[in-house]
Amino acid sequence: MDLDYGKCWGASRKDSWKTTLLLAYQSLGVVYGDLSISPLYVYKSTFAEDIHHSETNEEIFGVLSFIFWTLTLVPLFKYVFVVLRADDNGEGGTFALYSLICRHAKVSLLPNGQVTDVALSTYKLEQPPETKNSSKVKLVLEKYQSLHTALLILVLLGTCMVIGDGLLTPAISVFSAVSGLELSMSKDHHQYAVIPITCFILVCLFALQHYGTHRVGFCFAPVVLIWLLCISTLGLYNIFHWNPHVYQALSPYYMLKFLKKTRKGGWMSLGGILLCITGSEAMFADLGHFSYAAIQIAFTFLVYPALTLAYMGQAAYLSRHHHSIHKIGFYVSVPESVRWPVLAVAILASVVGSQAIISGTFSIINQSQSLGCFPRVKVVHTSDKIHGQIYIPEINWTLMILCIAVTIGFRDTKHMGNASGLAVMAVMLVTTCLTSLVIILCWHKPPIVALCFLLFFGSIELMYFSASMIKFLEGAWLPILLALFLVTVMFVWHYATIKKYEYDLHNKVSLEWLLALGPSLGIARVPGVGLVFTDLTSGIPANFSRFVTNLPAFHRVLVFVCIKSVPVPFVPPDERYLVGRVGPPAHRSYRCIVRYGYRDVHQDVDSFESELINRLADFILYDWHKSRGITDTCIDGSRSGASSSECQLAVIGTVTFSGITAFDIKGSIQPASVSVGFLTTDSISDAIEMEPVSVVERRVRFAIDNESETDTRSETDVRLQEEVQDLYAAQQAGTAFILGHTHVRAKQGSSLLKRLAINFGYNFLRRNCRGPDVALKVPPASLLEVGMVYVV
């Protein structure tokens, strides 16, 4: 149910109640699939071993009270009223919170950030006056590098737990739904039927992933809606038929009675109760696909009442039926006449809930990869029309194998619930901690407000987390082991990526070296376009100097391309390309920085190549036209104040300059940046880093007189035409993609831990990852790889 690109980060999606209600309906299938199927296994997990259902009903009423207040405090109060407001241009999730924090405080570990990134339209900063205490928190965070690392590890931990949830949720959901067969089959037959059927459904679910959810996504919302209406209707039936006074158990008094009677067993049973809020994080993670109002309406007016009635109905039935432990479950409260239809709807709902968490796992791994925190994997976009629909083959089949292994290995709801519960609470604790920082740094609230938020919701989640941790040997070890493995992989990859960038930064060569290359040194310029990919945003990368040293020739048109991620969810296409010259125009060398957000879809090689050439042509036209009215240019090889070695960069949008005879420019000179933009297109602006100056508004108008016959103008037009013709002629001759093929090695004297991480860990991951260094499917005939050994 992903919406198109424009709706993902624009504000137009909230313009009418009709649109909001439609989004609320669509959100049922994507956001609430996991949360809505929790009644299948909550009571069964809670009464597995730790507590017993007695004739006094104190246990069942106490559990109901805990479920009601947990649903009220965490999904409703915490997520709907607080966390959903901490969006990043309409996007939610762990990386959205981290992105917000990184933009408001200098805690990011992304290596190639630029001042010009702040000029992006999606790089929104809230600027109310900071309080004295909040600024102190910001200073402390920015001062200590160890806090930056700790914050990243916290984010990675939350990410890994989401991946763990993507492994466990399909197993427990489908298994619990299929378990309804036990009431219609003998125990002997049931034991041999549930596991194979569950595994078969899981295999089918994962096997269909490569088709994309857009093909069957239209039926997700109706399935969940029917399921919610089904469980709420069953709940009302059981309440009125078995115990109309069950509403009294919603009082917090029953929680106290429950804990007083059950003591340690009651505390340990919280590990089962917390499963009632599995899937709550999806409300925030999938915020970018819908809207705050839509998710709020869907939960408050449909999902929350339906779940409350479902749990009350089960409690009402159990309060009149004191069965043995293994009989407690969802299906025992379903009348026998409708048990088979409910079973069918439950299986469909469990598949929808599993699909949502699997798609979320793909999405968060793609975000991790774009920020340099995950080994490169092959990402397949399953829809050309719907933004964000992706499929990752390696992750899909790995999840399927592990999911089936969990189903066969645990074989019961208890162990699966213990594992799933710990993963869920770990993610919620990370979200609580990051939201507390957002309250201080982004909303500029007093630290006491953030502390109250952290203590109140953190204490609730810690209580449940401790109940899950005590069951380490009963299934809770699985998400911990998985998280430790994934955090290690992700941190090693990120650490080595940073070290590689630092090596490139310290070993880059000067512009003078590039300009000195020529026939006098035996260097030839061959026809074609050479795209040299590098992580550097300035300077000449060492891999190019190595390339020229071993092969004394390079292309007539040379472009240094940097594909970088910025801490925003999306970069508008008109602001993606940052283009400038490297040297004088006669050298035909350029720099192009291509900026992507952590949710952006990277282009394929054909569209990227053609669009890059078009943007270079636009830049050439713009730069020559600008030179007629503005003296600070690089036409004669002069250099701007932005850099001692290169010319200023310009943001080149989708505008075409053919036939344009006049430009109307309005700019604002502000501290740390100058922005000059075209009012007619709003797509081209110079971006220059400079010393702080006072804010000055200016308006400049200059005209290009095509009829002028002066020698200077004619000479300029000829040189402009020659440069554009050279560019397109070089494109016709062919484009070569020059990439570095690197081997990273720890330098002598490094610690044992660093040598293990770099020499073995990173290099093993690099050799075995399927994704290329650059997210383009470059044809082998156009690829030139330059071998480099990085000693870091």
Q: Inform me whether the pLDDT recorded for 266 exceeds 70.
A: yes
- Residue range 401-427: mean pLDDT, rounded: 91
**Residue predicted with more confidence, 130 or 2:** 130
Q: Is 670 helix (H, G, I), strand (E, B) or coil?
A: strand
**Residue predicted with more confidence, 391 or 457:** 457
At residue 511, the pLDDT reads: 79
- CA neighbor of 647 nearest in space, from 615, 668, 624, 677: 624
- Residue range 202-219: mean pLDDT, rounded: 78
Residue 652: band (very low, low, confident or very high) from pLDDT cuts 50, 70, 90? confident
Please say whether the beta carbons of 243 and 318 come within 8 A: no
Q: Inform me whether the pLDDT recorded for 133 exceeds 70.
A: no
Q: Inform me whether the pLDDT recorded for 452 exceeds 80.
A: yes
- CA neighbor of 422 nearest in space, from 430, 434, 410, 411: 430
Q: Inform me whether the pLDDT recorded for 630 exceeds 60.
A: no
Q: Inform me whether the pLDDT recorded for 658 exceeds 50.
A: no
Residue 773: band (very low, low, confident or very high) from pLDDT cuts 50, 70, 90? low
**Each residue of 315-366: pLDDT tens digit?**
999 988 876 544 788 888 899 899 999 999 999 999 988 888 888 888 888 8
- CA neighbor of 652 nearest in space, from 690, 620, 608, 606: 620
At residue 777, the pLDDT reads: 64
- Residue range 245-252: mean pLDDT, rounded: 92
Burial label, 650 (beta-carbon count in 10 A; 0-12, 13-18, 19+): buried
At residue 708, the pLDDT reads: 47
Residue 633: band (very low, low, confident or very high) from pLDDT cuts 50, 70, 90? very low
Residue 216: band (very low, low, confident or very high) from pLDDT cuts 50, 70, 90? low
At residue 698, the pLDDT reads: 36
Burial label, 154 (beta-carbon count in 10 A; 0-12, 13-18, 19+): middle
Instruction: Provide the residue type at 634 as one letter.
Output: C
Rounded to the nearest 5 degrees, what angle is found at the Cα of 342, between the Cα atoms of 338 and 348?
A: 155
- CA neighbor of 88 nearest in space, from 299, 408, 367: 367
**Residue predicted with more confidence, 17 or 254:** 254
Q: Inform me whether the pLDDT recorded for 130 exceeds 90.
A: no
3-state SS, one letter per residue, for 518-536: CHHHCCEEEEEEEEEECCC
Q: In what order do the strands lie in the sheet with 589-596?
A: 696-703, 662-670, 673-678, 685-688, 649-652, 577-581, 589-596, 553-565, 524-533, 735-745, 783-791
At residue 694, the pLDDT reads: 34
**Each residue of 22-39: pLDDT tens digit?**
888 888 888 898 899 999
Q: Inform me whether the pLDDT recorded for 443 exceeds 50.
A: yes
How far does CA 416 lie from the centroid of its chain?
Answer: 26
**Each residue of 148-187: pLDDT tens digit?**
999 999 999 999 999 998 889 999 999 988 988 877 766 6
Q: Inform me whether the pLDDT recorded for 70 exceeds 70.
A: yes
φ and ψ at residue 390, rounded to 5 degrees:
-130, 165
φ and ψ at residue 601, rounded to 5 degrees:
-95, 125
Q: What percent of the chain has pLDDT over 90?
A: 33
Instruction: Provide the residue type at 541 as one letter.
Output: P
**Each residue of 580-606: pLDDT tens digit?**
998 888 889 999 999 988 888 776 666
At residue 579, the pLDDT reads: 92
Please say whether the beta carbons of 578 and 595 come within 8 A: yes
Tokens of 436: 């507390």
Q: Inform me whether the pLDDT recorded for 679 exceeds 50.
A: no
At residue 90, the pLDDT reads: 79
- Residue range 618-623: mean pLDDT, rounded: 88
Report the distance separating Cα 495 and Cα 18, nearest Å.
48
Report the distance separating Cα 46 and Cα 616, nearest Å.
63
Q: Inform me whether the pLDDT recorded for 638 exceeds 90.
A: no
**Each residue of 71-127: pLDDT tens digit?**
999 999 999 999 999 888 878 888 889 988 988 888 888 766 667 777 788 787 765
At residue 385, the pLDDT reads: 61
Q: Inform me whether the pLDDT recorded for 672 exceeds 50.
A: no
In this structure, are strands 673-678 and 662-670 parallel, antiparallel, or unpaired? antiparallel
Burial label, 709 (beta-carbon count in 10 A; 0-12, 13-18, 19+): exposed
H or E element, residue 440: helix 413-441
At residue 457, the pLDDT reads: 95
**Residue predicted with more confidence, 774 or 123:** 123
Report the distance separating Cα 468 and Cα 462, nearest Å.
10
At residue 646, the pLDDT reads: 57
Give the chain's end-to-end CA distance (angstroms, integer).
45
Report the distance separating Cα 747 and Cα 506, nearest Å.
15
Q: Which of 597-606, 722-731, 779-788 has the highest mean pLDDT?
A: 722-731
Report the distance separating Cα 116 and Cα 120, nearest Å.
8
H or E element, residue 320: none
Report the distance separating Cα 742 and Cα 690, nearest Å.
34
Count of CB atoms within 10 A of residue 211's CB? 12
Q: Where are the beta strands (DSSP E) in 626-779?
A: 649-652, 662-670, 673-678, 685-688, 696-703, 735-745
Q: What burial letters (b/e) apply to 74-112, b meaning 16+ CB within 10 Å?
A: bbbebbbeebbebbbbbbbbbbbbbbbbbbbbebbbbbb
DSSP per residue over 342-398, as a string? HHHHHHHHHHHHHHHHHHHHHHHHHHHHHTT-S-----EE--SSSTT-EE-HHHHHH
Please say whether the beta carbons of 48 and 307 come within 8 A: no
Report the distance separating Cα 583 and Cα 517, nearest Å.
12
Computed over every residue of the chain, the mean pLDDT equals 80
At residue 382, the pLDDT reads: 73
Q: Inform me whether the pLDDT recorded for 557 exceeds 70.
A: yes
Q: Is 718 helix (H, G, I), strand (E, B) or coil?
A: helix
At residue 14, the pLDDT reads: 42
At residue 606, the pLDDT reads: 67
Report the distance separating Cα 233 and Cα 341, nearest Å.
14
**Each residue of 496-550: pLDDT tens digit?**
989 988 888 888 888 788 778 766 667 888 999 999 988 888 888 888 888 888 8
Q: Biggest alpha carbon distance in the chain?
A: 103
**Each residue of 276-303: pLDDT tens digit?**
999 888 888 888 778 888 889 999 999 9
Report the distance separating Cα 315 and Cα 309, nearest Å.
10
Residue 128: band (very low, low, confident or very high) from pLDDT cuts 50, 70, 90? low
Report the distance separating Cα 354 and Cα 346, nearest Å.
12
Report the distance separating Cα 257 and Cα 397, nearest Å.
47
Report the distance separating Cα 182 and Cα 326, nearest Å.
11
**Each residue of 39-49: pLDDT tens digit?**
999 998 888 77
Q: Which of 10-24, 31-45, 56-70, 490-504 has the lowest mean pLDDT?
A: 10-24
Q: Is 698 helix (H, G, I), strand (E, B) or coil?
A: strand
- CA neighbor of 311 nearest in space, from 417, 235, 225: 235
Q: Inform me whether the pLDDT recorded for 682 exceeds 50.
A: no
Q: Which of 576-585, 616-625, 780-789 has the lowest mean pLDDT?
A: 780-789
φ and ψ at residue 677, rounded to 5 degrees:
-130, 155
With the C-alpha atoms ordered 129, 131, 136, 142, is the resulting torsion angle positive or negative? negative
- Residue range 267-271: mean pLDDT, rounded: 89
